[in-house]
Amino acid sequence: MNKPDSVKNNERWIDVDLSKQRLFAYKGDELVEKFLVSTGISKYPTVKGVFKIYVKYRYADMRGPGYHLEDVPYVMYFSGDFGLHGTYWHNNFGNPMSHGCVNLKTEDAKWLYNWVKVGTVVRIRR
């Protein structure tokens, strides 16, 4: 996998493949971990591009059209209201399910939350 130009050698970064519903955690060119995810449904697609995690919350409440979720675990926002986070309300990973966020199993989100820092590059692609 070719890393984004903004990623330095041995720097940690995240690659999300929307077509495969997979998240890949890299250190430079080395794949460190991979997870099955659920991204945005067609009505609420996940934004594509290269971003950076700008804030992390151990727990956060989330609200939007048709949902209000309390204490969402391991939230890592990368673009506006788009984030990576744990998910306790479904177990249908591998299929688009969200309002645009990248849903992970809670234990996978915990690993990722502890592995990344604010400023980590996140690439979302098809």
The per-residue pLDDT for range 66-100, each reduced to its tens digit, is 899 999 999 999 999 999 999 999 999 999 999 99
3-state secondary structure of 78: strand
Within 13 Å and on the Cβ side, how many CA atoms surround 107?
1
pTM over 0.85: yes
Measuring CA to CA, which residue among 17, 14, 41 is closest to residue 95? 41
Band the pLDDT of 38: cuts 50, 70, 90: very high
Band the pLDDT of 13: cuts 50, 70, 90: very high
| Residue 1 pLDDT > 80 | no
The pLDDT value recorded for residue 84 is 98
The pLDDT value recorded for residue 48 is 98
The pLDDT value recorded for residue 125 is 98
* CA-based torsion, 56, 106, 125, 41: positive or negative: negative
The pLDDT value recorded for residue 65 is 86
